[in-house]
C-alpha cells in the first residue's frame, strides 16, 4: 500500500481532488488531499505573509506529524514548486514525485523563473491596489474554459473552491540543495488541451536527476484534469503505487 498525497495548485483547495480520491482508495491506498494555508478550510488564514515557504511547511508538517512514508507526492500546477522544496527537506519519506501539469523548478527558481507569465499576475495584483492578492484567472471560451474546465456544472462547482493567490507564493524560491532529492523518481503528466496563449511548458529532460529515463504521460484534457478526467488520472497514478 502506498500513500498518495495530492497537493492542489494556485487558487484551488483540496476539494478539487474529490473525484480522484475514491479510485485510489478503492485500490487499497491511503489518500490525503489537504487544503494549503489560505484555501478551503484554511481560507481564513489567507494573507500577504502566506508564501511558497508556508505551503512547503504545510506539506512537510503533514507528512511528519502523520508519520507518512512511501509517499507518492503529487503536485498540480503551482504545487510543483511546493512538492519540490518539501521533498528536499524529507527525501527519505518520498517514493515518487509527480508533476501534474505542473511547474518543474531548478534550485533557487521561483514561479516567475519557471513560468515567466507569472510576472503579469504579480503586476496585476499591484495594479489592483491590493499589492498582494492575485485573483483567479478568468474563464475563457472553449477549450480554455476555467482552468480547462468547460462543462457548466463543473465550472460552477470549481468556482466554489477558488480563492485569491498571495503574490509571495510566486516570488519565493524553491530549495533543491539536498543531493538525496535527486534520487527520487519523477513522473510528469501533461494536459494537452486548451493551453492558454503565452504559457510555455519547459521541456522535460530526457533523463531524470537520478539518471533514469524521464517518464512523461499525457491526458487529452484541460489543466484541471482531476475534475475533467478523474478516472483516467487515477489510472495513471495507480501505476506508481
Choosing from 13, 77, 84, 118, the catalytic residue is 77
Sign of CA dihedral 191, 228, 144, 16: negative
- Pairwise CA distance, residues 32 & 45, whole Å: 20
- Pairwise CA distance, residues 23 & 45, whole Å: 31
Residues in Cβ contact with 107 at an 8 Å cutoff, skipping those fewer than 6 apart: 174, 175, 176, 177
- Pairwise CA distance, residues 96 & 72, whole Å: 5
Is 84 assigned a catalytic role?
A: no
Which residues on adjacent β-strands are paired with residue 232?
none
Residue 125 and residue 133 in contact, taking contact as beta carbons nearer than 8 Å? yes
C-beta neighbour count of 58 within 10 angstroms: 20
Residue 87 and residue 81 in contact, taking contact as beta carbons nearer than 8 Å? no
Residue 186 and residue 111 in contact, taking contact as beta carbons nearer than 8 Å? no
- Pairwise CA distance, residues 230 & 76, whole Å: 13
Q: Radius of gyration of the chain from Cα atoms?
A: 17
Sign of CA dihedral 238, 192, 103, 204: positive
- Pairwise CA distance, residues 1 & 29, whole Å: 5
Active site residues: 77
Amino acid at each position: 500500500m502506498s500513500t498518495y498525497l495530492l497537493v492542489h495548485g494556485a487558487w484551488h483547495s483540496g476539494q478539487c481532488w474529490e473525484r480522484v480520491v475514491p479510485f485510489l482508495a478503492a485500490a487499497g491506498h491511503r489518500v490525503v488531499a489537504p487544503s494549503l494555508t489560505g484555501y478551503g478550510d484554511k481560507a481564513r488564514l489567507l494573507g500577504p505573509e502566506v508564501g511558497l515557504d508556508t505551503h512547503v511547511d504545510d506539506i512537510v508538517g503533514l507528512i511528519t506529524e502523520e508519520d507518512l512514508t512511501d509517499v507518492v507526492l503529487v503536485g498540480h500546477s503551482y504545487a510543483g514548486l511546493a512538492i519540490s522544496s518539501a521533498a528536499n527537506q524529507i527525501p527519505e519519506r518520498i517514493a515518487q514525485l509527480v508533476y501534474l501539469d505542473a511547474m518543474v523548478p531548478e534550485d533557487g527558481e521561483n514561479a516567475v523563473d519557471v513560468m515567466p507569465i507569472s510576472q503579469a499576475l504579480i503586476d496585476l495584483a499591484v495594479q489592483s491596489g491590493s499589492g498582494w492578492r492575485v485573483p483567479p484567472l478568468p474563464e475563457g471560451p472553449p477549450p480554455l474554459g476555467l482552468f480547462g474546465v468547460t462543462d457548466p456544472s463543473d465550472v460552477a462547482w470549481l468556482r466554489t473552491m477558488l480563492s485569491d493567490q498571495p503574490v509571495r507564493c510566486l516570488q519565493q524560491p524553491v530549495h533543491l540543495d539536498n543531493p538525496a532529492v535527486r534520487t527520487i523518481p519523477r513522473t510528469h503528466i501533461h494536459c494537452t488541451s486548451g493551453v492558454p496563449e503565452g504559457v510555455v511548458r519547459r521541456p522535460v529532460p530526457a533523463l531524470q536527476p537520478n539518471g533514469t529515463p524521464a517518464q512523461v504521460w499525457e491526458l487529452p484534457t484541460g489543466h484541471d484534469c482531476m475534475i475533467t478526467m478523474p478516472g483516467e488520472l487515477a489510472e495513471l497514478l495507480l501505476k506508481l503505487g
